[in-house]
Amino acid sequence: VKTRMKEYRARAGLTQEKLAEIVGVRRETIIFLEKGKYNPSLKLAYSIARALDASIEGIFIFDDEQI
Amino acid sequence: VKMRWILIAYAAISILGLMIMLSRENVYVVIALIIGFLLLGHRELWSLIRYRRLPVIDERVKNNLTSAMRLTGSFFFIASIVLILLLRFNVFRDTPTGLIISGQLVVLGIVYLVGYHYYDRVQPNLGERATHWLKICLITAGLSLSTIALAITLHNLVSYLFGVEEAFFFILGLLMAPAVLAVSLLGSLTIFIRGLFGPTGQGEIQ
């Protein structure tokens, strides 16, 4: 999954630590998500989208070939 | 919350096991249990000492813990069968049982630790190609280890049956297979370390 999380997080003025605290995950998980090296569950994707005030498809770009 | 209860239950069982072994004066197992406990719970202990709270167990950590535990469970099953067979054929003649059990416990802790770090850091950091090579190296290591055991057995069998000093299985078991084992282990270790210290999760600037 490609992601625009870093961009949205910067726009929301949140640090990785703060975002991790809001969505209830470790900071490491945010790092993995931002680098596109972890595919979140729908629940986590929804929590992140809500915390960043954006839509899931706006943050996470699904590659049709990988689905 | 469920995972926390599992960790608390694990700690309670370990302490109980520790007390039973202490009462039976089985020092080896007590030492192994402590080492195993430290290996398995080092992150939780560190977080408790430093932040006075248990670390967050999110879905990624939970998945990694489950995968590592599954790997350790499979290893425990195979290792137990091998151990039972070795004990059956009286391979460990004068070795105390406590030492054998403690050895298995420590190895289990190490397998869990390696497994957890593999799922946590190595796998996400390695590309498809490196992961493929890691698998090939590990399979080769496993096969060469089996070849050593098989070749030594066959060498002894042929020598016993025909009364001649058999050369092929001797060279295969004591020279070729160990060389392949060493190369494949070195390869696995190199790829593993490369993944462990890869770019992800290493103090990213926020």
Chain A to chain B Cβ contacts (< 8 Å): 42
When CB atoms are compared, the residue of A24, A26, A37 closest to B200 is A37
Cα gap B35→B11, rounded to integer Å: 13
**Whether B59 contacts chain A with CB within 8 A:** yes
Whether B59 and A40 lie within 8 Å, measured CB to CB: yes
Residues of chain B with pLDDT under 70: 1-4, 199-206
A 10 A CB-CB count for B38 gives 11
Q: Are B155 and B163 in contact (CB under 8 A)?
A: no
At B144-194, the pLDDT tens digits run: 999 998 998 888 888 888 888 888 888 998 899 999 999 999 999 999 988
Indicate the burial class of B64 (C-beta count within 10 angstroms; 0-12, 13-18, 19 or more): buried
Cα gap A43→B12, rounded to integer Å: 32
Cα gap A40→A17, rounded to integer Å: 17
Cα gap B53→B46, rounded to integer Å: 9
Query: In the predicted model, is pLDDT for residue A10 greater than 80?
Result: yes
